[in-house]
Structure 1
């Protein structure tokens, strides 16, 4: 049934033509919905001029038609049209309805099936019942899609320029920055429609308490602490993410490895230079923390809190295995035992193994030559010089990218130059990390009473010393009484010293 015939039937039946209005704005930066309100007013005026009854208004505020995100108002309108709610759809312009050819074709099929006509405030009537009308709709849709693509390119380019200039490129407030300027803007909640005054934030200024928290996490890891302990510290102190959620293990890791902490700007995951904001962590400390968190040997289960020194750090000595040992209390035993997760090789009483390993470590760190186990100090690292060198390398990378983008440099020399620059930058960042690295052994070597100092350490600090100093492998123990008269096979606990 054609739209004209459907309207005639409505009138003949003594009724007026039933119309619906669809309004959409892709970005509502103030949250006030003003763009949607203007569209609605113009569409209602068009309905009044034509004598149509508006039976429903569908609104999608701050939702792009090009992004692919679900538009709830649009979907609801299609469902209602399928049920015969109206015979006319009113929109401000065709690009408010579609910027996707796939969506447009589905809309055309529905309009043909249900005899629905489309009228716009800006572009007049869109007769989808005729080949020429459908062609016009498709042309307008293609133009709208091209405009969206160009807009995306402009936005991406603007963000790149801001990042290259070291400016804030927008987005969610990062933890640690955003001091209120004293100014406010009006925002309207999407779901409730409630209006509120929101403070304008200066993203170049650190929030004192959050900046202090990031620095505390950094120092905790540098001194042998764990991400897990920092997460617990956040919960105890009441710190949350900028969205107000509890800080998780992954949240905290992500915050610690942000170059922004050290005042470094990033674009698409690549460091592009210095940012125009105050850093809250010295670069050498930031590099050291990143090196710690990206160390493969630290990758352990982030679930339950370890309760034993060697959990997942002691290795299985079976040939071809070498996996980390876990502590279980299975098999009817009355005491926890170290056992390979694959289930072979039997168990070793966890308490005895840990005590023996700790005794060996304390004895080694109590010797006169224990000073030789310490890593070289960072005093010989020229932090300022390394930072200047890293800036030069980044500028060179930026210049190479510019030449390649302008067609003045071929792919092969561009790739070769970028790989060389990245390798040089990696070497510089490793040297910077060394300048802030805290040796886990520093609180033990030279202590008046090494055993007392060891016992005073938290479990995570002990595990850090073990990880840095020695690799412990548990082989299958011998059965029966040992030569010393006991039943613990000390020879089944093997030490491979990483230092000294």
Structure 2
């Protein structure tokens, strides 16, 4: 269906260019494709009325291609009768997509010409057959390449090597060399610094260790996100660190030098770990603990919210802070709505004073919990690796048909349960007593004030239970109206 000039009439043509990470059959940038297509149009005396470009979008991936969809819409409106592309695989690689294209070309009398594969006359059975054959070949090449890439990445993962992707926070020191990379926006090759993914970036590694220790000391992900914002620390893409980003970075096996393939740990990596594996396992256990899951809404703003207990009569419910009922200031109130209230600011300050005073005594070291040194970490880590190898072996036996689904499921469930127990033991070895940073501090009050609220609440949970008894009416002996004697402390560690 090639057109030739007749008098002043010239055939209207459009050009379609695409480049993706899969450059099989082209290996060219968009500009080079366009130049070759324009040369073909010039040789045939066609008027190019539009050029459609899709950069970094694979026809095989299934992702929406805006340029391609706009071209189909314009062809359906009769804007042109010829489509020019560098090769047929630049237009489509999906059989379903090809059939849609063939139907449109038949309906609108559109011919397809390519620089490399010549003309495809989709108005004839022979042309359609050739287009389908080329589509099948392109599909095969995409699947075959995808399989090769997947096998290569798996092999690298099993060896503990870096498999590519977005630079993980903590790794990637410039080597001083440059490498070529395709720019996602322009499709052109540009030079970027070569990174050594086995070496840690000092300042990022320091941040990862700080985050890990903070979580082990009772800190919160929310607090770390704020810390990053205050320090101006960003993701490797240059974006502010979100709550999800922080959790993902803390739970990344790479931190502890562990290689992963498709979400499963496959062994030790070839890089030096930034975080000790014991600490990593502990952080994992803490962040996966269902009791840490919070419902959407405001976070506690007061030290004893839902931690202090009501001691009025037989009540033992937790109290919370409210400013309802015409109160001029926030007050603690029982969940059952008992009358009266304790001014939150005064009560929290009193509890803080009592805790600081107790932790400032000479015998404060007696309050510390036994250290994790009593746990045989090396033996637990060896047991952990054995369990993971057993899970890998089970998968291999199932894949080879040597065990059935029931045996595979039962074996895997047992192994996972054992692994969970080992992980909890490792977590105990690494989890830091929330009192550690306070006991023995030169200035306990200063150390207390430096803690974020959630860390203070962890100290409270661990050290003492506060119960609010019915206060005495009227003015107290100190001249005020707050009954300190109605605040009862039941110490969970050591002596009063």
Shorter-normalised TM range: 0.7 to 0.9
**Structure-2 separation of matches of 1:336 and 1:233:** 28
Q: Check conservation: 1:473, 1:495, Cα contact below 8 A.
A: yes
Q: Deviations over 1:337-394 (max 9, x none)?
A: 3468x99667653224434654675687689997675433211222233323322322
SS at match of 1:34: coil
Deviation per residue, 1:169-202 (Å, 9 max, x gap): 1100001000111111244644467875310101
Residue 20 of structure 1 pairs with residue 31 of structure 2? no
Query: Residues 339 and 241 from structure 1, CA distance in 2 versus in 1: closer, same or farther, beyond 3 angstroms?
Result: farther
| 2:71 maps to which of 69, 77, 80 | 77
The alpha-carbon distance between structure 1 residues 463 and 109, as it changes in their structure 2 partners (threshold 3 A), is: same
User: Does residue 374 of structure 2 align to residue 380 of structure 1?
Assistant: yes
Q: Report whether the alignment pairs 1:235 with 2:232.
A: no
TM-score of the two chains, using structure 2 as the length reference? 0.82
Q: Secondary structure at the match of 1:184?
A: strand
- Measured after TM superposition, the shift of residue 240 of structure 1 is 1.1
Contact 1:19 1:52 (C-alpha < 8 Å) held by counterparts: yes
- State the shift of 1:42 in Å: 4.3
**Paired position in structure 2 for 1:283:** 277
Question: C-alpha separation between the residues in 2 aligned to 1:125 and 1:492?
Answer: 93
Per-residue displacement from partner, 1:36-77 (whole Å, max 9, x unpaired)? 445445434443443433333322232111212221221232
Structure 1 distance, partners of 2:153, 2:467, is 51
Q: Report the Cα distance in structure 2 between the residues aligned to 1:195 and 1:491, rounded to whole angstroms.
A: 75
Pairing 1:366-377 to 2, within 5 Å after superposition? 374-377=368-371
1:250 Cα deviation (Å)? 2.3
CA drift of 1:257 comes to: 1.2
Residue 225, structure 1, aligned to residue 197, structure 2: no
Query: What secondary structure sits across from 1:467 in the alignment?
Result: helix
Distance in structure 2 (CA, Å) of the matches to 1:292 and 1:108: 57
Quick one: which of 429, 432, 441 aligns to 2:435?
Answer: 441
- Measured against aligned partners, the alpha-carbon deviations of 1:273-305 in whole angstroms (never above 9, x if no partner) come to 111111111111112222222333434478767
CA distance in 2: counterparts of 1:121 and 1:449, whole angstroms? 78
Q: 1:106 to 1:13 in 2, by over 3 A?
A: farther
Q: Which runs of 5+ in 2 are unaligned?
A: none
Q: How many residues align?
A: 487
CA distance in structure 1 between the aligned counterparts of 2:7 and 2:490, rounded to whole angstroms: 94
User: Structure 2 vs 1, CA of residues 200 and 456 (structure 1 numbering), >3 Å: closer, same or farther?
Assistant: closer
State the distance in 2 between where 1:49 and 1:429 align: 70
Matching residue of 1:101: 95
Distance 1:77 1:449 in 2: 72
> Contact 2:30 / 2:188 at 8 angstroms: preserved in 1?
no
The residue aligned with 1:270 is: 264
C-alpha distance in structure 2 between counterparts of 1:295 and 1:325, whole Å? 24
Q: How far did residue 313 of structure 1 move?
A: 4.5
Work out whether residues 482 and 488 of structure 1, in 8 Å CA contact, stay in contact via their aligned partners in 2: no
User: Residue 404 of structure 2: which of 392, 410, 413 is its match?
Assistant: 410
C-alpha contact (below 8 Å) 1:224/1:440 kept by paired residues: yes
Is 1:47 equivalent to 2:53 in the alignment? Answer: no
1:149 and 2:114 aligned:
no
Q: Aligned Cα RMSD in Å?
A: 4.0
Distance (Å, rounded) in 2 between the aligned partners of 1:241 and 1:313: 35
**Of 449-458 and 431-440, the range deviating more from structure 2:** 449-458
Pairing partner for 1:481 from 473, 476, 482 = 473
User: Which residue does the alignment assign to 1:426?
Assistant: 420
Q: Summarize the Cα distance change of 1:306–1:43 in structure 2 as closer, same or farther, 3 Å threshold.
A: same
Quote the residue 1:206 is aligned against: 200
Query: TM-score, with normalisation over the residues of structure 1?
Result: 0.82
Tell me: CA distance 1:273–1:492, structure 2 relative to 1, closer, same or farther (3 Å).
farther
**How far apart in 2 are the matches of 1:73 and 1:324?**
60
Which of 76, 81, 84 is the aligned partner of 1:87? 81
Residue pairs, 1:209-358, within 5 angstroms: 209-300=203-294, 306-311=300-305, 313=307, 327-338=321-332, 348-355=342-349, 357-358=351-352
Deviates most, 370-379 or 105-114: 370-379
CA distance in structure 2 between the partners assigned to 1:332 and 1:33 by the alignment? 74
Q: 2:389 maps to which residue?
A: 395
**More displaced stretch, 306-315 vs 247-256:** 306-315
On the 8 A contact 2:472/2:483 being kept in 1, the answer is: no
Q: 1:479 and 1:311, CA in 2 relative to 1: closer, same or farther beyond 3 A?
A: closer
1:179 aligned partner: 173
- For residues 245 and 363 of structure 2, the distance between their equivalents in structure 1, rounded to whole angstroms, comes to 42
> Does 60-69 or 274-283 show the bigger shift?
60-69
CA distance, structure 2, for counterparts of residue 225 and residue 418 of structure 1 = 34
